[in-house]
Amino acid sequence: MTYNMGDFQGYSQPSMGQPPMGQPPMGQQTQQRYPQLSRVLQTEEGFARSVAYSGAAAKVIPSVLTVAILALVYNIVITVQSITHYGTSWNYFIDVFFSVRSTNNTVDPWLVFWVYAPVVLIPVLIILLIVRKVTYHSSVARLRDDYMRGGFLADLLPTGVPVPMGNRRGVLYLIGAPNVAPESTQAAVQRIVGIATSDPKSRETKAYVGALAKLAAVGAGEQASQASQADPAIMPGIFLTAQITVVDGRPRVAVPIGNDFTKLRLYRLKKDAPVA
């Protein structure tokens, strides 16, 4: 659902020169605010040292490791319980550990999972670690190239508007591209807050906030989308993102996704990155 300026009387956007939807960010506003960090990000070594990049393999590793550990621990527990309950000799620990048959001597699918999940997932985990190590530097180099072509340092402005993010709840933030005047981004914040709080229980307000939330929650805090896709009264170059954790006041490294400049991918800075 989209909204026009006339849908919510009393909230207006200042008249500014609006960049075309597909135009990449220009200007040096955030770069001027963070001159040292901007210089560091220009070099491959500085970029790799400053930007928190994990990659696809690294994101899967914690889940794989968790499942493998849980399955291993659970199987050890039920093996000990079975040996203790039936008075089996501890010499048969390995046999019981790898047994997949229930008390009626039929194969139990759950036992198959608990027994063989670690056997399968631990080699998968090792492969993922190797893949991450081998591809990490080339992936960071490609990311830096994308940043140099159209990326920028992005400040996140909070709206205070809560938005659902799956089973969790986040807060809506706005990002202005470097070619967007800061007062335009702040005006967009005021517009959203004004509409969201004017009559929060009305159907129109709920629909408006819901449209923003749906757009902002894509990527679970790792992406931002053009706010004008949900509210055309907001000028192009202003992005929505939903963040679960409290923003620490540090900028994000924003890199456009694709060539139409409607979405950004956001990267946090490492703790020792020179934010100055």
**Mean pLDDT computed over 97-114:** 86
Among 13-22, 64-73, 212-221, whose mean pLDDT is lowest?
13-22
| Strand order across the 152-154 sheet | 152-154, 252-256, 263-267, 223-226, 238-243, 168-176, 157-165
Range of the domain at 69: 55-148
For residue 68, pLDDT beyond 60 = yes
**Mean pLDDT computed over 220-246:** 89
Same domain, 68 and 163: no
Same domain, 159 and 101: no
For residue 11, pLDDT beyond 50 = no
- Residue at which a domain ends, from 103, 127, 148: 148
Same domain, 179 and 141: no
Same domain, 249 and 157: yes
For residue 203, pLDDT beyond 90 = yes
**Mean pLDDT computed over 245-268:** 85
Same domain, 158 and 209: yes
Tokens of 199: 């009559």
Among 172-176, 218-222, 271-275, whose mean pLDDT is lowest?
218-222
- Residue at which a domain ends, from 148, 174, 207: 148
**Mean pLDDT computed over 74-78:** 92
Q: What is the pLDDT of residue 230?
A: 93
Same domain, 160 and 194: yes
- Residue at which a domain ends, from 131, 148, 165: 148
Same domain, 158 and 257: yes
Same domain, 141 and 176: no
Same domain, 221 and 185: yes
Q: Which has more pLDDT, 24 or 126?
A: 126
Same domain, 175 and 140: no
Amino acid sitting at position 151:
G
Q: What is the pLDDT of residue 274?
A: 83
**Mean pLDDT computed over 67-73:** 93
Q: Is residue 34 part of a domain?
A: no
Same domain, 144 and 169: no
Q: What is the mean pLDDT of the chain?
A: 84
Query: pLDDT tier at 204 (50, 70, 90 boundaries)?
Result: very high
Tokens of 3: 């909204």
Q: Is residue 21 part of a domain?
A: no
Total of domains in the chain: 2
Q: Is residue 4 part of a domain?
A: no
Among 67-71, 75-79, 156-160, 214-218, whose mean pLDDT is lowest?
214-218
Q: Which helix (H) or strand (E) holds 238?
A: strand 238-243
Same domain, 192 and 138: no
* Euclidean distance between CA atoms 254 and 30, whole angstroms: 11
**Mean pLDDT computed over 55-63:** 77
